Amino acid sequence: MKNSPVSPVPYSRIKIRVGGLVFCGDDVALIRRDRADSTHYTLPGGNVEDGEDLVAALSRELAEELRLDTAAAQGGDLLWVVDQRVFRPGPTPPPRKLHLVYRFHIGSGVRATLAETEVDELPDGGHEVGVVEWVDYRETAGLPVFPPIGRALASLPHPRAAVGDAALEAVTDATYTWV
Nearest to 141 by CA among 4, 41, 61: 41
Tell me if 106 is assigned to some domain.
yes
Tell me if 6 is assigned to some domain.
no
Quick: pLDDT tens for 121-146: 877 888 888 999 999 999 999 999 99
Distances (CA, A) of 117 to 65, 66, 134: 8, 8, 12
- The identity of residue 24, as a single letter, is C
Domain extent, residue 160, equals 14-172
Distances (CA, A) of 120 to 50, 58, 64, 65: 19, 16, 10, 9
Q: Tell me: pLDDT of 1 over 90.
A: no
Q: Tell me: pLDDT of 3 over 70.
A: no
Tell me if 111 is assigned to some domain.
yes
Nearest to 11 by CA among 99, 69, 98, 73: 98
Average pLDDT of the segment spanning 3-19: 78
Q: Tell me: pLDDT of 147 over 60.
A: yes
Q: Tell me: pLDDT of 179 over 90.
A: no
Q: Tell me: pLDDT of 6 over 80.
A: no
Q: How many CB atoms lie under 10 A from the CB of residue 52?
A: 14
Alpha helices in the chain (DSSP H): 54-66, 108-111, 150-154
What percent of the chain lies above the pLDDT cut of 70?
A: 94
Residue 152, helix vs strand vs coil: helix
Nearest to 31 by CA among 120, 131, 127: 131
Average pLDDT of the segment spanning 98-106: 97
- Give dist(CA 58, CA 106) in Å, integer: 16
Q: What is the CATH number of the domain that holds 118?
A: 3.90.79.10
Tell me if 5 is assigned to some domain.
no
Number of domain units in the chain: 1
This prediction's pTM: 0.89
72 and 109 Cβ atoms separated by less than 8 Å: no
End-to-end CA separation in angstroms for the chain: 44
- Give dist(CA 33, CA 29) in Å, integer: 13
Tell me if 3 is assigned to some domain.
no
